[in-house]
Amino acid sequence: MAGSAKPAAKPLDKDAANRKEIVTTIKGPVTARVTQLIPALAAFPNPYASVLATPDLLYACMQLVKTKREQFQDLLIDKNGDPVTTDDGVLRCERSLNQVISMVVRSGAKAYAEKRFGTADKPAAPVAVKKEPKTLLEKIQSLVSGKWGDMEVPKPSPTQADQFYGAIKDYLDYDWQVPLIPCFAELPVKLIREMGLGVTTLRTPEGIAALADIGRHSMDQAKRILSDSMMREMLDTQPLAAKGVAFLGKDRYDYLHGTVYDKMGEKFWEMCVDCERLEAMEVQNAKDLEQLATHLHILSGEAINQIVRFLNYSQIPIFLEIGTEKLGEEKFAEIFGVPGNKKLIKIFCEKIKMWKLDQEDPDADLRAKLPDVFGAYMRAPADFEKGL
């Protein structure tokens, strides 16, 4: 009809437009530059799709963008056309490079899942698990098949890719996660959903294999022992602690939690990862454990036993504080952590036991003398270990 108003124009979705620009840039100029730097990629019919669905290749290309940043600098600009030289600087697309990396990580997970599990249009390629797993990925596949319920083991289906991606996408943000995508894909979707943020604590294939090795029984046992809030905190902080919680049982867990949790906070869950450490703690009294609390997530079972055996109650925190300060956290953990150095642990503790400390203020005297013994080790580790 004449005079009728035209329908209002659909408002521009700026965010969608920015996402489209990012994808177009990656598919076009970024892929072209990467192919120039890695000529072998030109052999693929679709280099972008092939790289995206192959985590090792994708990770290598992402590292290339970081290490050869000057090759991509003309694409890393802000809305004024000026170069953005930091990973958290805002680009023309109103996102930082870190945010773009997060998008690529999630896209890579989705592409790999579709290749691994198939889609409604394309079935998955069969995955054969060898009788004697040789690679960590094969080991994870074998452990999941053996230690988790049959209903939880990933089975290729048109929907499995979507289920996996839907469970993990909110926790994929970092380039270091890309090589782990095939390992994550072997975990039961139910477990990924249970872990939630805890997925980001699994930073190595070995860590994922350790989780697969725990099995459903230990996870369910931990769930029966912990309150809902503690279970959530454990899963978000360190899912591997489920094995230790199951090992402790209800009564011993309650005792340890009541004794040291307030002093340790979330490090309590790191402490629960190692069952030998927990076993050593079972014979110690509450006061000694309280004195050890700052380092219980680091110390091996052997270190706990020797420190309590040779040192007086008040000496323990002084020893831990000065030992960490003088040796440095890495060397301290190498000696007194898991698996540690049993011989050195005993030498350090025996030396302190033999000292004749000032009777008026033995703790102050210990604090004054300890730097020398740790310093002697740092100056000549081999001689110190020989007792010279």
CA 109 to chain CA centroid, Å, is 17
Instruction: Compute the distance between CA of residue 34 and CA of residue 64 in angstroms, rounded to an integer.
Output: 8
pLDDT in tens, 178-225: 999 999 999 999 999 999 988 888 899 999 999 988 888 999 999 999
- Segments making up each domain of the chain, as ranges: 15-119+161-186, 187-273, 275-387
State the pLDDT at residue 225: 97
State the pLDDT at residue 1: 47
Length of the chain: 388
Instruction: Compute the distance between CA of residue 27 and CA of residue 174 in angstroms, rounded to an integer.
Output: 20
Question: Where do the H-state alpha helices sit in 86-240?
Answer: 97-117, 136-147, 160-168, 181-186, 189-195, 205-225, 228-237
Write the DSSP symbol of residue 342.
H
- Amino acid at position 182, single letter: P
- Per the prediction, the chain carries an average pLDDT of 89
pLDDT at 371 over 60: yes
User: Does pTM top 0.85 for this prediction?
Assistant: no
In this prediction, residues 334-350 reach a mean pLDDT of: 93
Q: Which residue has the tokens 């072998």?
A: 40
Instruction: Compute the distance between CA of residue 117 and CA of residue 93 in angstroms, rounded to an integer.
Output: 33
pLDDT at 382 over 50: yes
Instruction: Compute the distance between CA of residue 55 and CA of residue 382 in angstroms, rounded to an integer.
Output: 44
pLDDT in tens, 109-157: 999 999 998 876 676 666 555 556 678 888 888 888 888 877 677 776 6
Instruction: Compute the distance between CA of residue 225 and CA of residue 247 in angstroms, rounded to an integer.
Output: 11
- Amino acid at position 16, single letter: A
State the pLDDT at residue 201: 87
State the pLDDT at residue 62: 93
- Amino acid at position 92, single letter: R
Choice among 66-80, 139-153, 261-275 with the minimum mean pLDDT? 139-153
Measured at the CA of 149, the angle between CA 146 and CA 153, to 5 degrees, comes to: 75
